[in-house]
Amino acid sequence: MKSPNLSQLLAAGAFVLSVTVTTLAPLPACAQFGGIVYDPTNYSQNILTAARTLEQINNQIRQLQNQATSLINEARNLQSLPMTMLDPLQQQIRQTQQLLNQAQGIAYDVQKVEREFGRQYKDIDLTGSQRELVQRAQDRWRGSVAAFEDALKVQAGAVSNIEGARSAVQNLVTASQSATGALQAAQAGNQLLALQSQQLADLTATVASLGRAQSLDAASAAAAKAQAREQLRRFLAPGRGYTPANAQLFRN
């Protein structure tokens, strides 16, 4: 039997190697089930795409929720305070003004003060009769008493406003603490400032009325001194001063 030569052996080995490589090569990753082709690679890509789409939808939902929360907060910040104390405070200020307008005698008008003060206290007429001097002194005394009465009325009005101020402070502080937004808190703060302004107005009116009474009393005292000097001069004037005479105290 004739032995195979080298070229025959090499050809046979190449054939076997090609068959082996063909047998061991990987098949495509797909299968067929009842006419439906299943591709695992395509399936995994579809799942990844769906997951990404779902994440985008969740992000959009969160954005919408944040926008809704922001709109709700803005709406709360724009809500007005459900209560106001401005009308009662203005009413109290008007009452104080009415008390000041009811001032007797020389009131709080600059032109009237200049005119009446000069006539009754500054440039008083000391040339009249004794009866006239006494009458003017009585008028000045009545003006001083009336000024003190006016001051007491204004003080009483300011004191009567304290209870209203206390109630207003309580209501405004409660409203400020329970405010749902920035606008309500700011409005409560503004009304508290208005309350302080009303109290300052009462204090100003009280100080003004008391100062007026003290000023008129001091002016009356100064005018009384000037009148007393004139009456003393008349009393001691030679020939027309005091003339002693007999006086009868009891009748028979």
> Is it the case that residue 233 has pLDDT exceeding 60?
yes
Contact 181, 76 (CB under 8 A): yes
User: For residue 152, what pLDDT is reported?
Assistant: 92
pLDDT, one tens digit per residue, over 11-51 is: 555 554 454 444 444 444 444 445 565 567 777 787 888 88
Confidence of residue 54 (pLDDT cuts 50, 70, 90): confident
- Using the predicted structure, report yes or no on whether residue 10 has a pLDDT greater than 60: no
Task: Sketch the domain layout of the chain as residue ranges.
Answer: 36-77, 86-236
Predicted confidence at residue 52, as pLDDT, reads 86
Q: Tell me which residue of 195, 194, 173 sits closest to 184, measured CA to CA.
A: 173
pLDDT of the residue at 30: 47
Q: At what angle do helices 182-236 and 130-177 cross, to 10 degrees?
A: 170
Measured distance CA(116)–CA(124) in Å, rounded = 10
Decide which of 86 and 245 is more confident: 86
Strand partners, 31: 38
Query: What does the pLDDT look like over 186-206, one tens digit per residue?
Result: 888 888 888 888 889 899 999
pTM of the model: 0.59
pLDDT computed for residue 92 by the predictor: 85
